[in-house]
């Protein structure tokens, strides 16, 4: 049975909206892609309400279809944690809140994702590894509240898990290097599950390059290509990192199982399109 999903990838300055339709077993079609020139910064400012209403007006075309959101703030806070093995998903949030109380000064000012880390061979059987990722609760909470009034709102959170889920159904490592203005991240997933995750806040391009080169030199990715994405992943940066590491760096693009209809449109950047499409795919899975 064919299903469709709306997804919005909201970064600091723009929002990319896509409509993805399942067209068969593991095949999908993007039928629409639009860009709103307002993101988290605008939606948290004095005109935040106006920007959120603009997003709602764009979504009105698909009022009866489910909506998923992913956020890409300028930077996040990360905290490795260990939870009792097989903790039910409905109890994970409570454990995250406890950890947040120790880690943050004002818990209510933050939202969080708990990213399950694939079990290592030497990991204690009674514990599950989690990477807690904290991001500002506003404007995310206000956006979600606004959309819930008229739309069926589904998954909401950071874009990292949807990107990692692109490896679902594979047995080979899927390494992703994210290069942004204020952070760099490197994670490796297999069959949709992350086994390795590193995140560094950075101050400049030199720190970004150092992180990338350090991680790729001791990479857990094997001999396959490393997929590179992010607003700072320009050709010159990739060339410099490749020269220092000899890794096979490739831009992260739309998965081959997703085609586009004529006239669907494109996003402002490949990074934003991939984040929106991957958010839709995770919601459809």
- Reported as a single tens digit per residue, the pLDDT across 73-120 is 999 999 999 999 999 988 999 999 999 999 999 999 999 999 999 888
**Dihedral pair phi/psi, residue 223, rounded to 5°:** -100, 0
pLDDT for the residue 44: 86
Looking at the fold, whether 155 and 184 belong to one and the same domain comes out as no
- Tell me how far apart the alpha carbons of residues 263 and 110 are, in angstroms, rounded to a whole number: 39
Looking at the fold, whether 211 and 120 belong to one and the same domain comes out as no
Question: Judging by beta carbons within 10 Å of its beta carbon (0-12, 13-18, 19+), is residue 94 exposed, middle or buried?
Answer: exposed
CATH of the domain at 98: 3.30.1490.300
| Domain extent for 120 | 77-135
Looking at the fold, whether 59 and 110 belong to one and the same domain comes out as no
For the chain, the domain total comes to 3
Looking at the fold, whether 145 and 276 belong to one and the same domain comes out as yes
**pTM exceeds 0.85, yes or no:** yes
Looking at the fold, whether 113 and 219 belong to one and the same domain comes out as no
Looking at the fold, whether 171 and 223 belong to one and the same domain comes out as yes
Looking at the fold, whether 226 and 112 belong to one and the same domain comes out as no
Looking at the fold, whether 66 and 145 belong to one and the same domain comes out as yes
Cα end-to-end distance, the chain, whole Å = 13
CATH of the domain at 190: 3.30.420.40
Q: 237, 126 in Cβ contact below 8 A?
A: no
What percentage of the chain reaches a pLDDT higher than 90? 80
CATH of the domain at 39: 3.30.420
Q: Return the CA Rg of the chain.
A: 19
1: confidence class by pLDDT, cuts 50, 70, 90: low
Q: Dihedral sign, CA of 123, 128, 131, 134?
A: negative
Question: Judging by beta carbons within 10 Å of its beta carbon (0-12, 13-18, 19+), is residue 189 exposed, middle or buried?
Answer: buried
pLDDT for the residue 246: 86
pLDDT for the residue 122: 81
123: confidence class by pLDDT, cuts 50, 70, 90: confident
* Both tokens assigned to 135: 């991001």
pLDDT for the residue 222: 66
Distance of CA 67 to CAs 17, 62, 100, 128, 175, Å?
Answer: 10, 9, 28, 30, 28
Q: What is the mean pLDDT of residues 164-178?
A: 94
pLDDT for the residue 220: 62
Q: Which residue has the tokens 């905290």?
A: 79
* Both tokens assigned to 54: 């603009």
Distance of CA 127 to the CA centre of its chain: 25
Looking at the fold, whether 93 and 179 belong to one and the same domain comes out as no
- Tell me how far apart the alpha carbons of residues 221 and 255 are, in angstroms, rounded to a whole number: 19
Looking at the fold, whether 241 and 260 belong to one and the same domain comes out as no
Question: Judging by beta carbons within 10 Å of its beta carbon (0-12, 13-18, 19+), is residue 112 exposed, middle or buried?
Answer: buried
Looking at the fold, whether 149 and 221 belong to one and the same domain comes out as no
pLDDT for the residue 2: 80
Q: Dihedral sign, CA of 91, 94, 100, 106?
A: positive
* Pairing, β 153-158 against β 67-72: parallel
State yes or no: pLDDT of 200 exceeds 80. yes
pLDDT digits (tens, 9 = 90+) for 227-244: 999 999 999 999 999 999
Looking at the fold, whether 131 and 241 belong to one and the same domain comes out as no
pLDDT for the residue 26: 81
């Amino acid at each position: 049975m064919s299903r469709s999903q709306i997804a919005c990838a909201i970064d600091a300055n723009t929002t990319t909206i896509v409509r993805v339709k399942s067209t068969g077993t593991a095949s999908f079609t993007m039928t629409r892609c639009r860009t709103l020139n307002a993101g988290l910064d605008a939606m948290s400012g004095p005109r935040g309400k106006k920007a959120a209403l603009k997003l709602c007006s764009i979504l009105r075309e698909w009022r009866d279809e489910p909506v998923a959101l992913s956020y890409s703030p300028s930077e996040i806070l990360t905290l490795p944690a260990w939870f009792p093995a097989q903790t039910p998903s409905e109890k994970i949030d409570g454990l995250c809140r406890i950890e947040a109380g120790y880690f943050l000064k004002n818990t209510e000012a933050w939202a969080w994702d708990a990213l399950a880390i694939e079990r290592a061979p030497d990991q204690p059987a009674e514990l599950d590894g989690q990477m807690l990722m904290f991001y500002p609760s506003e404007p995310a909470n206000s956006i979600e509240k606004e959309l819930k009034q008229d739309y069926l709102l589904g998954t909401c959170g950071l874009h990292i898990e949807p990107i990692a889920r692109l490896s679902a159904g594979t047995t080979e490592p899927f390494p992703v290097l994210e290069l942004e203005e204020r952070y760099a991240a490197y994670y490796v997933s297999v069959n949709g599950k992350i086994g390795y995750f590193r995140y560094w806040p950075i101050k400049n391009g030199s720190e970004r390059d150092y992180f990338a080169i350090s991680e790729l030199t001791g990479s857990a990715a094997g001999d396959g290509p490393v997929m590179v994405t992010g607003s700072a992943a320009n050709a010159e940066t990739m060339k410099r990192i490749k020269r220092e590491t000899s890794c096979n760096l490739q831009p992260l693009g739309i998965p081959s199982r997703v085609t586009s209809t004529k006239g669907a449109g494109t996003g402002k950047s490949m990074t934003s399109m991939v984040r929106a499409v991957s958010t839709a795919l995770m919601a459809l899975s």
